[in-house]
Structure 1
Amino acid sequence: MEIKTYFRYIIILASGFLMLASCKKNSVGLDYINKPVVEAFLVPGQPLSVKVYTQKDLADTAVYGAALTGLNLSVSDGSKSVQLTESASGVYTNADLAFITSGKSYTLQFTYDNVVVSASTTMPGKPVGFKLTDSVFYVPVTIDPAYATKVLATATWTNPDSLNYVLLFKNTDSDPFNIITVRSNNKPSFQVNTEGAAIYNMTQSSFNYYGHYQVILLRVNDEYINLLKSNSRGSSQNLTNPPTNVNNGLGIFTAMQSDTLALRVTLKQ
C-alpha cells in the first residue's frame, strides 16, 4: 500500500475544500476573521503534521493564507503528549511514527492571539473486506444513454454499522487519456462519499479517463464528511460559515485509515 502517495492526494483534495474555509467574509465579525485555520490528517505510520495559517481575502487566488509561525503546538493521546516542531513556515511536525496508532483519541492545543485553540479526533478502525469485482474496468466502445445506470463493476467492503467511508480513485498515469472529449474538463482523480454504504457501483460514466488507478477506501470521521458535504454545496457567491471541529479556529483536525486496490480502466475490445 502506497500510503505516502494517497496521503499527498488527500492533502490536495482537502486544500480545495478548505480554500473557502480560509476566506474572509465581509458579513462576519472581527472575532471570526481573526481565527487561525488548522489542517491536519492523522494516519497511522505517518509523521504527525499540522499546518496553521491565516484566513485570506476572497480575491486572493493563493490556496493558503499566510503561514502562522512561532506557535507552540502539542498533541496528546490521553496518556502521552508530544511537542511539535516547526519544520517549515506554519507547518508543525513530530517524527515519532509510533505515536499515531489505531484506537486512540488525539487532542491538539496551542495558543494564538492569547486564545487557546484546540481540536480533538479519534482514529477510526481500518477498513475490512475491501474488494473489487475485477482488477480491470472495461469502458464500452459506445456510450449508450439507455444503459447509463447499468452496473459494470462494484467495490464492496464490510460496514454493518453504516460508518463513514470515502472512496478515492487516483489516476496514476503521467498523461491520462480522456474517454470522451465532453468530459475532458473533469479531473482524472476523484473522490466519492459512499453515504454509509458498503458498496459502490461503477457504470459506463463513472470514469472520465482511461488508465491505471489506485482505488483507496478511507474510513473517516464525521468532521471530514461534514467538510466534504459543505464543499459540494458552497461557492464563492454563496459563502456560509464552514463546518469545523477546531475550537476558536477554523479548518479540520481529523484521523483516517485506508485500504488500497489497483484498477485499470481500458476500452472494451
Structure 2
Amino acid sequence: MGMTDLLRGVQGQGDFGVWLGRLDGVPVFMHAAERPHYSASTMKVLVAMAMLRKVDAGELSLEQPVTVHNDFASAAGGRFGVNRAEDEAPATWTKLGEQVTLGWLATEMITRSSNLATNLVLEQAGVDTAQAVLAEYGSGASAIQRGIDDVAAQAAGISNLMSPADLAAVLVAAGNDDSASGRYLRDLLAANEWNGEIPAGVPAGTRVEHKNGWDVRIRHDGGIVRPADAEPFVLTVCTTSELPDPDAQKLIAAIAAEAWNHRHELEAVR
C-alpha cells in the first residue's frame, strides 16, 4: 500500500501532513506539508538548537548549573507552571529545588520529552532565539512563541505551530551540521526513548534521529533515518485527527515503512 493509499484511508478524519526527502532538502513526496499543526513536543528540537547556538556563542555552557523550578514567565504576562500530571518524564521533577547541569536538562528534554526540562532550557535559551532558528530555516508558517503549559498564552491565541515542511527543513539543517553541536544534537535525537512512530516502521537497530510530539488529537514525528545500505532520508508526519492515538502511531509507522521500502529509490514513493 503506497503513501497516497495510506492517507486516502484516513481521509475525512482530520488533518494529515507528510514530507519525505533526502538531506539535500529536496522533497520527493509531500502531502499537505505546508499546513501548520499545533507543534506539541516537536518544538523541543528548536529549543535544543537555540540552546546550542548560545553555547557556541559562549553565552551558555552545557556544564552550567540550573536550579530546577516550576515557575515561568508567561508569554501573555504573569506566571505559569508545568502540569506535572501531564509530564510523562518524572526525573526532572525529582530534582525540584536542586541544581543540575543544562546538558542534563537538554537530555531529559529530548530523550524523554520532559516538559519541565523543556521550559527550563527555554528559559535559558530564550523564546526569541528558538523562533529565530525556526525563521532561518522555515517558511514562516510555523512559530515558537511560548513554553509548554502556558495556559494564559494559549487562551490568548499565542501558540507553537509546526508544519511538516518546516520540521523537515529544521531536520535537514541539523543533519547537515558537521559541528560538534550538530553531532551533539543528532546523538540526542537518536537517543529518544519514545519510539512508537517512525522507528516502529523501520527495522530494529536502524539509527533514527527523531523527535515526536503528542497531545489531545495530536501525534507527530519527524526524523532522519539512516539505513546502513542507502542514503539517509528525512521523514516528517503531522497528524491532528479523530484517530485513536494508537492508530495515529500505526499510521506514521506505516508511512515510515513505505519510505523504508523505497530507500534505494526514494523518488518512486507514491
Choose between structure 1 and 2: higher helix proportion.
Answer: 2
Bigger CA radius of gyration: 1
Range class of TM-score, shorter chain: under 0.3
Higher strand proportion: 1
Normalising by structure 2, we get a TM-score of 0.24
Q: Which has the higher contact order (CA 8 A, sep 6+)?
A: 2
